[in-house]
Amino acid sequence: MSDESEEQKLLPVERVEAFELEGPSKIKGWTEFHVRSMEEAKEMWEIAAPAILTSVAQFSIGFITTAYIGPLGQVELAAVSIVQNVLEGFVFGAMLGMGSAVETLSGQAVGAGDYQTLGIHLQRSFIITFITALFLTPLYLFTSPLLKIIHQDEIISEAAGNYAIWVIPQLFAYAFNFPIQKFLQAQSKVWVMSVISVVVVGFHTFLNWLLVFRYGLIGAAIAGNISWWIIVFAQMIYIVSGFFPESWTGLSFSALTSLFEFLKISLASALMLCLETWYPSIVIILVGWLPKANVAVDAISICANMEFWTLMITYGFSAAVSVRVSNELGAGNHRAAKLAVGVTLVTSTLVGIMFAAVTVATKDEFPKMFTSESAVIKETAKLGYFLAVAILINSIQPVLHGVAVGAGWQTQVGWINAVCYYLIGLPAGGLLGFKFQLGLQGIWFGVLSGLLLQTLVLLLMLLRTNWSDEVSHAEERIQLWTQPYQH
């Protein structure tokens, strides 16, 4: 066989490495780098686009519920908002984190061509997340007394407690949904997941119209329960219907083995993500202690909503880079993993710059989409530059988290989050906001300092990474988890 035909058979990443070894002309080397970067960008978008669509669609389920509840009255709206933003915000980080062990292990297994373990990892994750949901259930059962303990309005607390009990089925839907998502993402099978989510959003709108005005909060809870379980069942039917002959071979008792080791990885992921997702909630509590707290809380809530919508985009990039890094490390392609990080980071940062620029340009206008109160509009406009900086940082930081999950660095990043957010960011915000009387702007400046420090530390960690060593770590992890299935 000729040398030319051998070269044509090489994968793109192998061809790049061949050029580096053979030392061709500089122009030809850059041409190959450009070609591979474009190919990597295409692969990244094939995962990121449906991941973004899925995130937006599933977030819209809660958004639609709130929109239908609003006309019922302020008490009902406040009750649903508390459950969604406080209770489910707390639960979201825990459940997503506990389900993320599948992301690291399955992603690297796919890269190594070891598909037989994916179904076992999924079933293990089901067990772990289901037990986690059982432990979290008392939070739903005792929502009302817990809210009263922290001096929330009694009528709102009662309404929120009643609604929380009715949405317990959604908690268990999360327990199955997150592992399923990671299982599908690891294999880059994400478009079906997006289509299911979009279709369910349309159906959820109809359910709310049918149930909310007739049954109130209970009708909203039932609509949410039905919609979330349709998503879970539809995705599971897709998995077991023969589309994954290698990675899903049915239920297995092997899923009951090595649960403790799997739990340790799950807990590390949960620690990393919980410290991340709880941070904004604690900031809102800090703001609530300021003088004229109503205006301050409304202003920070508007900014949080704007920030969250932009995070929908960057979370798609986070999912994409996690899959690409884990796949390439599992396949032993350290240069391809490094390239995936670079391409995704540059793309997400450019998107962040665009969103930040739009935020600054419209800082006096975007608050009007949320409120007509002049005091709130004015206070929110003052935060426009802070919001733009937060959006820019949040275009980088989720990608770094995605790299951490793909490479299996959850424990290290969890500690970094704890120090930067809770030992530096929040105390700095408290000092600036209260001790130095800088108010809302002081609190957010301190919080941003923690976020910026965390991002810089993760970037430094990334720059110092030896990707060849990460391939070795991935090989060790794959061997460890495939031992029980080797005959």
Q: 111-131: buried (b, 16+ CB within 10 Å) or exposed (e) per residue?
A: bbebbbbbbbbbbbbbbbbee
- C-alpha 58/C-alpha 60 separation (Å) is 5
94-139 pLDDT tens trace: 888 887 778 888 888 888 888 888 899 999 999 999 999 999 999 9
300-333 pLDDT tens trace: 777 877 888 888 888 899 999 999 999 999 999 9
The pTM (predicted TM-score) of the whole model is 0.83
211-221 pLDDT tens trace: 998 999 999 99
371-421 pLDDT tens trace: 778 888 898 899 999 999 999 998 999 999 999 989 989 889 989 999 999
* Mean per-residue pLDDT over the chain, rounded: 85
- Residues 310 and 394: beta-carbon distance below 8 Å: yes
Which of 15-24, 178-187, 350-359, 367-376 comes out lowest in average pLDDT?
A: 15-24
* C-alpha torsion 428→430→361→398, nearest 10: 60
Which of 16-20, 108-112, 147-151 comes out lowest in average pLDDT?
A: 16-20
Mean pLDDT value across residues 443-466: 93
Mean pLDDT value across residues 41-46: 91
What pLDDT was estimated at residue 483?
A: 57
Q: Is the pLDDT of residue 48 over 50?
A: yes
Q: Is the pLDDT of residue 150 over 80?
A: no
